[in-house]
Structure 1
Amino acid sequence: MSAKTANRVATIVIISVAVFIVALLAGLLGFILVRGIGHISFDFLTSAPQTIKAGGGIGPQLFNSLFLLVLTLIITVPLGVGAGIYMSEYAKPGRFTDFIRLIVEVLSSFPSIVVGLFGLLVIVNLFGLGFSLFSGALALTVFNLPLMVRITEQAIRGVPREQKEASLALGLSRWKTITSVMMPIALPTIITGTILASGRVFGEAAALLFTAGMTSPRLDFSNWNPLSPTSPLNPFRPAETLAVHIWKINSEGLAPDAAQIAAGASAVLVIVVLLFNFTARWFGRYMYKKLTASK
């Protein structure tokens, strides 16, 4: 086979694989949206679910998922970005640094059910936090922290060495060089890592069964006292997320329209993830242009 023919064959194979992946994703999204979007309404998005009769919605579960996302990012992003900066700029090569990287790789491959059991034994029982949003956020941090550390480290290392050396040559400190020169360049990659971590927060169910719980108290959305057990802003209350609700309503099947509720909830979950991804990418480009003064 000549080089020209081999190049043509390789190009066709690569394009075919890419088209197959796009078609598979489009088919999956289309199936979920077409099956569930007809069940979405304002009442469905705002009302509480019914377990013994038809009707109800996913209002508390949708709010719990968004609240859990915020709590998890508040914990994960500072720790992950800080650890990534340390590993790329401050940690000296050696056995200790290699051991830290090994631990990060091991944590990133842990099964979610194992992390859930760890959260149940340590976070829920040993620390006495109980089934709560905060316990779920800590368990999800175990998932997302290795990803954030690894992506931040690679993003910082990907900054051209000439820019770093030029900043240091001008008399800027190492920290000022990191925050003013390297971080703006690495920001789009870090935001991509945050998006990947956030997608896992939305879709995770196994770990949250053992940490956040499978029930939610009746929330009073007029009560904004974060210490009240019925307040939606209380991070120490049990909370059923949207992904857990989909699993629960399918497994129990108590509601007559359980299949329709699960289909609508799945469509809402996909739409929320897509909206979050697009918004986060727009914000990343906006911050990159602002921090680097590029047009």
Structure 2
Amino acid sequence: MKSTQTANPFQGVGKMNRLNNRVFTLLVWIIGAAAILFIFGLLFLILEAGLPNLTWDFLFGLPSEIDEGGGIGPTLINSFYILGISLIIAIPLGMAAGIYLAEFAPDNKLIGFVRICVEALASVPSIIFGLFGIALFVEFFQIGLTILGGAVSLAFLNLPVLVRVTEESLRAVPKELKSASFALGGTHLQTISRVLIPAALTGIVTGICLVAGRAFGESAVIILTAGVTTSGEMWDFNLFSPGATLAVHLWYVQSEAIVPDAQQIAQKAAAVLVFVVLFINLVFRIPLWLKARKMKG
């Protein structure tokens, strides 16, 4: 007598899918763990070589051209100074352009071409912006290699990234929030400032973190627009002074300097550079953590 039961045609497929899912999950865990271990290993090697040997004399001392024992004081101050000026210029312009493209720009071929241009500029090598800075500040305005030229060139470098990050973060906000704001009588400006920007703040701050870290460690743009030297003063805020930064000083010491302790200076400067970039990311993340904690409370 034949059995009336029929085999489930999806039984074998289900087992294979579960096996593939487990294999894929294991593969993702392995790759993720390997990437994290590599990053932590790289950070450990850099910080372990230079961080224990740091002194206040090194952090706030003047660089030396011949004698050993020079510091990084002026270059460290210039790094923060140029970074601050570039962010003051880039953040308002980048956010304004991103808000315009996300909320006000018409959906036509011209705006589509503008988006393509912005994306292309975001991937252009930094040395191209350095060459643009030379053409603008050194040749056209004839002000030489200055802090001002370096800061504005860095702002140009970071501007396309901030525009795209702001636009995409605003577009990622659920449309229901925007509709609810309009339904409650909010104007377009109120909706953007009180609903869309707070909801997209995590993505915007992440973009600012990325460009700030990139700007602090940038060397090609600074070499071409601000030079490889400083004014020799510790606290020189003259915008028309030479503006070598810590990244430039690290490159110079490693490749051109003749001081006997060039290797030790490079190791300590690299440790400071990595530590400051991590600190910048932490500082920008603190408001997001406070906001998340406030929402949970």
TM-score (norm 1): 0.92
In the TM superposition, residue 76 of structure 1 has moved relative to its aligned partner by 0.4
1:173 counterpart = 2:173: no
Q: Residue 3 of structure 2 aligns with which residue? A: none
Q: Residue 12 of structure 1 aligns with which residue? A: 26
Do 1:188 and 1:288's aligned partners in 2 also have CA atoms closer than 8 Å?
A: no
Do 1:188 and 1:285's aligned partners in 2 also have CA atoms closer than 8 Å?
A: no
Q: 1:254 aligns with which of 258, 282, 297?
A: 258
In the TM superposition, residue 83 of structure 1 has moved relative to its aligned partner by 0.4
In the TM superposition, residue 139 of structure 1 has moved relative to its aligned partner by 1.2
1:137 counterpart = 2:141: no
Do 1:47 and 1:58's aligned partners in 2 also have CA atoms closer than 8 Å?
A: yes
Distance verdict in 2 for CA 1:289–1:162, change over 3 Å: farther
Partner amino acid, structure 2, of 1:114: I
In structure 2, what is the Cα distance between the partners aligned to 1:123 and 1:200?
22
Partner amino acid, structure 1, of 2:31: V
After TM superposition, the structure 1 = structure 2 runs for residues 1-295 of structure 1, keeping only pairs within 5 Å, are 2-219=16-233, 221=235, 232-286=236-290, 295=297
Deviations 1:71-120 (A, max 9, x none): 01000000000000000000010111111101101111111222211111
Q: Residue 227 of structure 1 aligns with which residue? A: none
Task: Give the greater-gyration-radius structure (CA).
Answer: 2
Partner amino acid, structure 2, of 1:240: A
Partner amino acid, structure 1, of 2:221: A
In the TM superposition, residue 245 of structure 1 has moved relative to its aligned partner by 0.2
In the TM superposition, residue 138 of structure 1 has moved relative to its aligned partner by 1.5
Unaligned 5+ segments in structure 1 are 222-231
In the TM superposition, residue 49 of structure 1 has moved relative to its aligned partner by 1.0
Distance verdict in 2 for CA 1:287–1:235, change over 3 Å: farther
Q: Residue 6 of structure 2 aligns with which residue? A: none
Partner amino acid, structure 1, of 2:196: M
Partner amino acid, structure 2, of 1:256: P
Do 1:148 and 1:194's aligned partners in 2 also have CA atoms closer than 8 Å?
A: yes
Distance verdict in 2 for CA 1:94–1:68, change over 3 Å: same
In the TM superposition, residue 157 of structure 1 has moved relative to its aligned partner by 0.9
Distance verdict in 2 for CA 1:92–1:288, change over 3 Å: farther
In structure 2, what is the Cα distance between the partners aligned to 1:141 and 1:79?
10
In structure 2, what is the Cα distance between the partners aligned to 1:52 and 1:88?
54
RMSD: 1.5
In structure 2, what is the Cα distance between the partners aligned to 1:157 and 1:285?
23
In the TM superposition, residue 220 of structure 1 has moved relative to its aligned partner by 5.3
In structure 2, what is the Cα distance between the partners aligned to 1:14 and 1:133?
45
In structure 1, what is the Cα distance between the partners aligned to 2:159 and 2:32?
30
Partner amino acid, structure 1, of 2:258: L
**Larger displacement relative to structure 2 (129-138 or 273-282):** 129-138
In structure 2, what is the Cα distance between the partners aligned to 1:214 and 1:53?
18
Partner amino acid, structure 2, of 1:276: I
In structure 2, what is the Cα distance between the partners aligned to 1:253 and 1:38?
23
In structure 1, what is the Cα distance between the partners aligned to 2:234 and 2:251?
25
Unaligned 5+ segments in structure 2 are 1-14
Report the secondary structure of 2:44's partner residue.
helix
Paired residues in the alignment total 283
Deviations 1:193-218 (A, max 9, x none): 00000011111101111101111112
